[in-house]
């Protein structure tokens, strides 16, 4: 702390008052500096008042001693604000509140795999007495893993202790796999619907877009000559408000190709929309969205799904979701000989492993085909004898 007179102005002293506040978690010095005009006694009084005001943040926090809770706040600000979607950050905040009730006061460098194993067991039982599933615990495990990997990059810790912790085991449920016949029936029924419903669902079927990506589409993203659509954003609902965000990975910012049939459909829909805008007049809000509400504002990300459900119920089709359509999109392309890397890029995946693990499935016809290959091998071998 210091209170130093730096000059005299018209008989009044000018004092430079500095209040030292220790160090932040980067090891950088923290201080409050105030310029004060008056007598020495008045300057000392001002200094004392500033000390009293800021004493509660004057504790030194450094890279050696900060706690997991302090690191949590740093991680949310320095990492999540820059690289994580808002809706994902909101989930992280919720999870970190529960985590910090258990290990928040522990020094970051002192946390080991044993402490983390106990954390996961406690979370499973439930901080509030309510048990949670292994799948939910796995989300906590993945967050902790991300945090310690980042802490290692920032040189806050020497290694990630979560590597040696027990990873929660999750038994995958059998996915609802829709068949090509289910897809054909859907297409046939969609052809009977309004131009808006047809465009939303047929565009999704031939591109495998996520429903948030469908809702975010803009007319300016279509290249009519090259028959492509640029996928640049996705709509998400955060705290009841719709927010446009960049896709969750760089790979999700992509270009998809569309056929002449879809180009013609989009032009037909655009003509219908223009006529509707003229009819509505001044009530139209004038956005560039391809799919809008009745006044031209964005649709909610859940709207395409509600349209799909409405058609399924109307025509008594087998149940399916937008994600199911993504699955069959990938599987159909794969069955027609399209390589996994191309499919992965079209879906906006960051690597081909996601595509292989989640989205491609061997249908019964392909499995039977595999069996017949070996039947032919055996038959040919017997005939040779």
In this structure, are residues 33 and 68 in contact, taking their beta carbons and an 8 Å threshold?
no
Q: Is the pLDDT of residue 192 over 50?
A: yes
Cα distances from 380 to residues 173, 366, 371, 377, in angstroms, run 40, 21, 14, 5
pLDDT of residue 267: 96
pLDDT for the residue numbered 61: 47
pLDDT in tens, 120-145: 999 998 766 678 889 999 999 999 99
Chain centre to alpha carbon of residue 245:
9
At 58 the pLDDT is 45
**CATH for 180-359, options being 1.10.8.10, 1.10.443.10, 3.30.70.141, 1.20.1290.10:** 1.10.443.10
User: Could you tell me which residue, 364 or 145, shows the higher pLDDT?
Assistant: 145
Which helix (H) or strand (E) element contains residue 13? strand 12-23
pLDDT, mean over the chain: 83
Is pTM beyond 0.85? Reply is: no
Q: Count CB neighbours of 376 within 10 A.
A: 10
Q: Per-domain residue ranges for the chain? A: 2-57, 68-164, 180-359
Q: How far apart are CA 174 and CA 61, in angstroms?
A: 49
Cα–Cα dist 123/352, whole Å: 32
- Domain 68-164 indexed as CATH 2.20.28: no
| pLDDT of res. 142 | 96
CA dist 340 and 354 (Å) reads 10
Q: Tens of pLDDT along 153-185? A: 988 999 999 999 999 988 776 666 788 899 999
pLDDT digits (tens, 9 = 90+) for 193-225: 999 999 999 999 999 899 999 999 999 999 999
pLDDT grade for 96, boundaries at 50, 70 and 90: very high
- Residue 26 to residues 23, 31, 108, 153, 156: CA-CA distances in angstroms? 8, 14, 14, 14, 10
Q: Residue 64 pLDDT > 70, yes or no? A: no
Mean pLDDT of 340-349: 82
pLDDT band at 2 (very low <50, low <70, confident <90, very high): low
- Least confident segment among 43-57, 150-164, 296-310: 43-57
pLDDT of 248 reads 62
Average pLDDT estimate for 38-63? 68
Reply yes or no on whether the pLDDT at 118 is more than 70. yes
């Amino acid at each position: 702390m210091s209170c130093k007179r730096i000059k005299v102005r018209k008989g009044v002293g000018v004092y430079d008052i500095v209040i030292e506040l220790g160090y932040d978690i980067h090891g950088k010095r923290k201080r409050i500096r105030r310029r004060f005009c008056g007598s020495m006694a008045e300057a000392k009084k001002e200094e004392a008042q500033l000390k009293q005001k800021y004493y509660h943040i004057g504790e030194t926090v450094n890279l050696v001693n900060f706690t997991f809770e302090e690191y949590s706040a740093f991680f949310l600000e320095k990492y999540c604000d820059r690289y994580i979607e808002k809706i994902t950050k909101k989930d992280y905040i919720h999870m970190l509140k529960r985590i910090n009730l258990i290990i928040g006061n522990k020094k970051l460098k002192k946390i080991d795999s044993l402490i983390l194993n106990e954390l996961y067991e406690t979370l499973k039982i439930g901080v509030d007495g309510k048990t949670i599933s292994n799948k939910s615990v796995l989300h906590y495990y993945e967050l902790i893993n991300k945090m310690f990997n980042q802490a290692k990059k920032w040189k806050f810790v020497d290694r990630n202790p979560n590597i040696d912790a027990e990873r929660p085991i999750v038994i995958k449920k059998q996915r609802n796999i829709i068949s090509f016949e289910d897809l054909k029936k859907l297409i046939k029924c969609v052809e009977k619907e309004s131009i808006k419903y047809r465009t939303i669902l047929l565009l999704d079927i031939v591109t495998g877009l996520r429903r948030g990506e469908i809702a975010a589409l803009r007319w300016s993203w279509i290249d009519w000559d090259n028959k492509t659509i640029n996928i640049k954003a996705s709509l998400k609902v955060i705290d009841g408000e719709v927010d446009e965000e960049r896709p969750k990975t760089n790979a999700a910012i992509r270009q998809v190709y569309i056929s002449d049939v879809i180009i013609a459909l989009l032009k037909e829909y655009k003509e219908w929309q223009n006529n509707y805008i003229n009819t509505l007049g001044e009530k139209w809000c004038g956005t560039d969205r391809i799919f809008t509400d009745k006044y031209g504002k964005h649709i909610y990300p859940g709207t395409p799904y509600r349209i799909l459900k409405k058609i399924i119920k109307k025509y008594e089709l087998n149940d399916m979701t937008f994600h199911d359509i993504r699955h069959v999109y990938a599987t159909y392309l794969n069955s027609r000989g399209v390589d996994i890397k191309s499919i992965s890029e079209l879906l906006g995946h960051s690597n081909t492993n996601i595509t292989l693990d989640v989205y491609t499935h061997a249908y019964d016809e392909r499995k039977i085909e595999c069996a017949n290959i070996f039947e032919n091998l055996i038959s040919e071998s017997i005939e040779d004898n």
